[in-house]
Amino acid sequence: MTGLEDRIREYLELRRALGFKLEDDGRLLNQFAAHLAGNGAGIITTEAALAWAVLPGGAPGYHGARLSVLRTFLRWLKAFEPSIEVPPHGLLPKGSGRAVPYHYTDDQVRDLMARAAGQARSALKAATDATLIGLLACTGLRVGEAIRADVGDLADGVLTIADAKFGKTRLVPLHPSTCNALEGYRELVNAELGTVSTPALFVSTAGTRLIYQNVQRLFHRLAARAEIMSSSGNCRPRIHDLRHTFAINTMSDAYRRGEDPARVLPVLSTYLGHVSPASTYWYLDATPELLAQAAARLEPGRAAPAQDLLAGKDLP
């Protein structure tokens, strides 16, 4: 089908203008276009879409998720190309949904940072990898937010996250020790590279902004070397789970200090950049240890839904 790449670009520009990032969608749709071109297909059919979606690779449910991305695009495209076929909903299972968060211990985070510092080919790469993991662990930033951050976004101990999820901007206060680590890292960047063309806070040895896929691959290698293993088929160590771990640890610390969780949770939600505390519940309710701390605050014999426990509702 001719002009498919242009239609994909138009579709992505339209949806991104509405606040969607669509980083994976763009990559997947371009893969589909390349697949069609490689097979000489002149028209998009359900058979062609399914053949691409079930290509080997990915975790359980990935094929269904890949087809879902394509279906959304094809529904839009059919308004311009009535001859194309849109695969029916439910043709492939999407698996069990969101992955179960992996909760890292403090020792595991330190081990990951140490291995990042020890395996790198240069002092700059070692510092980049270790500092990035440390920042994610102590702030709960999304990976994309950290690698999109610029040097100018950090001022007076506050990191400005611009153009975050849904196009929002938020301020992330940092602990003084985190600021010192970032300042030390930037001093090394200046010493190793001098003037660089990119304003990025984290840079590669070539002086360019980091690439999301490369960061993910690095983390997978580090986790394997640190022998951080999957606890189940749906709970595998991912770099995004540093964000989950930060949320869990924040609420757990609040319970230990006797703070009011109903006050802490909205602050945590805002700090993480969630639309509402309801979006933060997913980070918390899959953690037995945290639920046990919440349940211990109830009067004997009383029960409450997990969301109410974590938010501090119906507590004595």
Instruction: Name the residues annotated as catalytic.
Output: 142, 165, 240, 243, 274, 283
Residues 204, 215 contacting (CB under 8 angstroms): no
Helices (runs of H) and strands (runs of E) counted in the chain: 14, 3
Structure tokens at 69: 């991305």
Per-residue H/E/C for 90-147: CCCCCCCCCCCCCCCCHHHHHHHHHHHHHHCCCHHHHHHHHHHHHHHHHHCCCHHHHH
In 3-state terms, what secondary structure has residue 154? strand
Residues 284, 290 contacting (CB under 8 angstroms): yes
Indicate the residue type of 296: A
